């Protein structure tokens, strides 16, 4: 196996977090708003460089807003519901007052785990990256199905893309709950 392949596999969660969201965002934008891309000539290296930079910036921006807004709200709901991970004890919607301190303690504890759990933490990190990619794909389908340009795939099948996006978002929430539970067991082995 080549060195580049080994390096990519070693850092696969970064690829899922920082590169693929941009590809999804640009693919969705291209299908919903093709007029935005009329300037793009894929046979020109300068155009490829520009679109690569745009993909990385757009993907990272989408990822950051998703991770620290949408996913944080979902995590807070899981916390208040008493789901394993950083969790309110007992579960109550008023427990949000303790969320920040409990989350901070949970994260600090995760970094003080024995080194033999590194493989487990790596699994949780890769799984979490995949879940974020699920969210981004669902959000792209939802966002770009709203008011796309005429005579586009999104315009012709907007309702279907919207429904698929909502279903994907629901599946991503379920996977967030599953990943949260796995992470809890990594830190609190039975």
Q: Report the first-to-last Cα separation within the chain, whole angstroms.
A: 37
Give pTM, 2 decimals: 0.84
Q: How many CA atoms lie within 13 A of 84 on its CB side?
A: 12
pLDDT band of 167, cuts 50, 70, 90? very high
Distance of alpha carbon 158 from the chain centroid:
22
Going by the DSSP 8-state scheme, the letter that residue 1 receives in this structure is -
* pLDDT 10s digits, 3-26: 777 776 666 666 667 778 899 999
Q: What distances in angstroms separate CA 98 from CA 43, 134, 154, 190, one per listed residue? A: 55, 29, 43, 25
Angle at 12 between CA 10 and CA 117, to 5 degrees: 60
Parse the chain into domains and list their residue ranges.
3-187
28-78 tens-digit pLDDT: 999 999 998 888 888 888 888 888 889 889 989 999 999 999 999 998 888
76-117 tens-digit pLDDT: 888 888 887 766 566 676 777 788 888 888 888 777 777 777
């Amino acid at each position: 196996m080549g060195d580049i392949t080994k390096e990519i596999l070693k850092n696969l969660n970064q690829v899922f977090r920082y590169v693929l969201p941009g590809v999804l965002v640009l693919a969705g934008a291209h299908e919903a708003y093709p007029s935005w891309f009329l300037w793009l000539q894929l046979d020109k290296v300068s155009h490829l460089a520009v679109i690569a930079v745009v993909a990385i910036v757009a993907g990272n921006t989408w990822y950051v807003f998703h991770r620290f807004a949408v996913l944080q709200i979902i995590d807070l709901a899981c916390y208040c519901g008493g789901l394993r991970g950083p969790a309110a004890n007992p579960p109550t919607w008023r427990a949000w007052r303790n969320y920040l301190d409990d989350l901070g303690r949970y994260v600090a504890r995760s970094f003080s785990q024995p080194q033999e759990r590194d493989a487990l933490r790596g699994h949780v990190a890769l799984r979490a990256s995949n879940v974020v990619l699920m969210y981004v794909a669902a959000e792209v389908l939802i966002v770009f199905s709203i008011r796309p340009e005429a005579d586009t795939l999104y315009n012709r099948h907007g309702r279907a893309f919207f429904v698929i996006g909502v279903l994907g978002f629901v599946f991503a929430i379920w996977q967030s709950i599953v990943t949260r539970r796995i992470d809890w067991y990594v830190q609190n082995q039975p």
